[in-house]
A and B are shown apart, each in its own frame.
Chain A
């Protein structure tokens, strides 16, 4: 199991940029990726993303790590598009499968778009600490509070989720090791037995995660943290 890329310490313009601006910039870049369809447009967007990676000083390895983890999935997407996208003017046919130039082009387009969005998302997590991300979400959503959106609850949920991912990953690894000690190496088995072994981990994973949730909420409430209609208060009234 590959852990998501975390914060990478560096001093760069992207690290110093405000989180709301960074989140809006990410949305704008994703919109740009979705809009680009011609090869030249995609190449231009890819150059912009490459410049952002260089400016972030997190290193190409960290920026591309999540994208590298998707290599088999993306290879499958490329193959499906190349063989199933169209039947017109095939370069090669085998039963219902037709390898076409249009299919290869469509597959490459989807793969490049996915890669660009993944690298952009990785750049955000590499250059933003979890707590900064929570504060940024809170500030970005604040205007929606007037429309009744529970901004504090949303920011708390985002923060707890981001901070729990590494904890739960560590716990699931421990559970897998414990299972491997009892029943042999999970990864060396066939696909069905491997999946079934993951299913057996579900109950202990959920019980352990919910126990942590119980402890965290009790600790927060014991310190006087309350959520009333989406607004947070500490020690019975003082606004955060």
Chain B
């Protein structure tokens, strides 16, 4: 995939990261429970690599905050760090993991990114953003309980979307000989 296409995919996924939360905002508290901004970030990483995932993870929350006011200013920096890790790790793992099965590769990369992003988010909050006031219980609640719907949604839709994009010929197949 060319550099230009990688940058354009990162940008289009960032635009989706702005548009999807706007659709979900008609559902109360959807941002924290359905995590609509996470989906395009992970897809960007999975289809275009770690640099594109990282770029989408940075652009989506920053530009969304500027254009729509969401996420709120106080949340932009921690959320940007978390999303950047999702994009970076999903892209890096999808490049490294080769099990022979497209679905297995994508699920391993996706789950790895979901865990890494949450761990980095917890560490940053405990050490930098809320030092001394952030507990393990608060991290578990915010990272796994409140957003359990979003986690299920990501596991249910991210891999089928990437497979659909491969089948539509919009991204190169992982195993061209198949």
Report whether chain A binds chain B: yes
Report yes or no: B5 in contact with A67, Cβ–Cβ below 8 A: no
* A159-185 CB contacts (< 8 Å) to partner B: 159-162, 164-165, 167-169, 172, 176
B23 at the interface (CB under 8 A from A): yes
Q: What 1/0 flags go to A98-116 for Cβ under 8 Å of B? A: 0000000000001001100
Report yes or no: A221 in contact with B2, Cβ–Cβ below 8 A: yes
Report yes or no: B153 in contact with A199, Cβ–Cβ below 8 A: yes
Report yes or no: B15 in contact with A164, Cβ–Cβ below 8 A: yes
Interface size bracket, B side: 35 or more
Size of interface on A: residues with Cβ below 8 Å to B? 66
B79 at the interface (CB under 8 A from A): no
A18 at the interface (CB under 8 A from B): no
- The dominant DSSP class at the A interface is helix
Of the candidates A122, A158, A172, A195, the one having the most CB atoms from chain B within 10 angstroms of its own CB is A195
Q: In the complex, identify which listed stretch (A48-56, A89-97, A139-147, A204-212) lies at the interface while the others stay far away.
A: A204-212
Return B65 CB to nearest CB of chain A, in Å.
7
- Chain A residues within an 8 Å CB radius of B171: 210
A38 at the interface (CB under 8 A from B): no
B24's contact among A4, A72, A118, A198, by CB below 8 Å, is which? Answer: A198
Q: In the complex, identify which listed stretch (B67-75, B100-108, B110-118, B130-138) lies at the interface while the others stay far away.
A: B67-75
Not counting A169-B22, A211-B168, a sample of 13 additional A-B residue pairs whose C-beta atoms are within 8 angstroms of each other reads A70-B70, A114-B74, A158-B63, A161-B14, A161-B15, A164-B12, A195-B24, A199-B157, A206-B40, A206-B165, A210-B47, A221-B4, A227-B7
| Residue positions of A touching B, CB distance < 8 A | 1-2, 4-5, 30, 33-34, 66-67, 69-70, 72-73, 76-77, 110, 113-114, 117-118, 121-122, 124-125, 153-154, 156-162, 164-165, 167-169, 172, 176, 187, 191, 194-195, 198-199, 201-203, 205-207, 209-214, 216-217, 220-221, 225-228
Q: Nearest 7 CB-CB pairs, A to B?
A: A160-B11, A164-B15, A118-B69, A217-B5, A117-B73, A4-B67, A227-B3
